């Protein structure tokens, strides 16, 4: 008696629900592209003719992964990760690769380590996505993937400064965590610094996260004057002191402007 032939391998057919969810994700992103001021959950529900309860998990996932960003009023806008994929999808460079020449030039002008940062997926920190090391023997040892708090670094303050007040308040508690003796710990003091950032175009950090670490940063703004990336220069206090920080800050403004032109 001959052995039975093995059955053919079973093909996994995606469930209809999976197809619908994938379609909803694409629909949401397409609406976000066309809505410059963002869309509230109720607007998305009405336009897509879908219940809010089924859209909310998708929106939360997209926001957590950086494909959407949510304002303090609850509206959803296209996020930084969608921008990066959009650049790559057109055969162009992603954000870190696109910005790299400007970062290298900034390192040469300042002699210090340069970082490119974006807002973390949870919206609570700046995350470094690229780095150009200084040629100095003693230099800042931070790396790509490091998270930095919004209120205690020039990177975070450069980001906060260009958000509407209600969004800033949603991202910063009334009492802020102290890291060193110079850390800003009240929202009122922080707002005073953010006024200076908007006036000068750059932010500074004077040992607010680590006592001997000083830095300056500037935001890369989109056409809506919202920050999409942060350019930062960091170095030890004996080279990057208070007297030198304004000059370094102006150099970060120059680099951010160069990157903004490339993104446009």
3-state helix, strand, coil in the chain (%, to 5): 45, 20, 40
Q: What is the pTM of this model?
A: 0.65
Rounded distance, CA 203 to CA 53, Å? 41
Pairing of strands 227-236, 213-221: antiparallel
Q: What is the pLDDT of residues 48-77, one digit of tens each?
A: 988 888 888 888 888 877 788 777 667 887
CA distance 131 to 100: 9
What DSSP letter does each residue of 119-142 carry, written as one string? E-TTSSEEEEEEEE--SSSS----
Query: Superfamily for 93-263?
Result: GAF domain (3.30.450.40)
The tens digit of pLDDT for each residue in 134-147 reads 877 666 666 777 88
More confident residue, 224 or 199: 199
Per-residue confidence band for 176, with pLDDT thresholds at 50, 70 and 90:
very high
Q: How is the chain split into domains, by residue range?
A: 16-78, 93-263
Examine the pLDDT at 115 and tell me if it is beyond 90. yes
* Dihedral angle over CA of 219, 198, 254, 148, nearest 10: -30
Name the one residue in this structure whose structure tokens are 């957590």. Answer: 64
pLDDT tier at 155, thresholds 50, 70, 90: very high
Mean pLDDT of the 210-224 span: 91
Residue 143 pLDDT: 72
- Lowest mean pLDDT of 60-64, 65-69, 100-104, 160-164, name the range: 65-69
CATH topology of domain 16-78: Arc Repressor Mutant, subunit A (1.10.10)
pLDDT, position 90:
41
């Amino acid at each position: 008696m001959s052995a039975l032939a093995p059955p053919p391998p079973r093909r996994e057919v995606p469930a209809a629900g999976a197809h619908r969810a994938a379609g909803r994700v694409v629909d949401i992103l397409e609406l976000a592209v066309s809505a410059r001021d963002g869309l509230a959950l109720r607007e998305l529900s009405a336009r897509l003719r879908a219940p809010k309860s089924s859209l909310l998990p998708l929106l939360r996932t997209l926001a957590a992964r950086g494909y959407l960003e949510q304002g303090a009023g609850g509206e959803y806008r296209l996020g930084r990760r969608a921008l990066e994929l959009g650049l790559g999808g057109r055969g162009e460079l992603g954000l870190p690769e696109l910005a790299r020449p400007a970062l290298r030039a900034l390192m040469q002008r300042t002699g210090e380590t340069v970082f490119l940062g974006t807002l973390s997926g949870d919206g609570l920190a700046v995350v470094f996505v690229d780095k150009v090391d200084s040629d100095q023997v003693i230099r800042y040892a931070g790396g790509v993937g490091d998270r930095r708090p919004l209120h205690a670094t020039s990177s975070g303050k450069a980001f906060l400064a260009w958000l509407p007040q209600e969004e800033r308040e949603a991202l910063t508690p009334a009492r802020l965590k102290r890291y060193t003796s110079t850390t800003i710990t009240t929202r009122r003091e922080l707002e005073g610094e953010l006024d200076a950032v908007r006036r000068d175009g750059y932010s500074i950090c004077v040992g607010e996260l680590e006592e001997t670490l000083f830095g300056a940063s500037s935001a890369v703004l989109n056409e809506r004057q919202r920050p999409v990336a942060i350019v930062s220069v960091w170095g030890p206090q004996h080279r990057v002191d208070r007297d030198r920080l304004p000059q370094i800050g102006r150099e970060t403004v120059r680099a951010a402007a160069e990157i903004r032109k490339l993104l446009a």
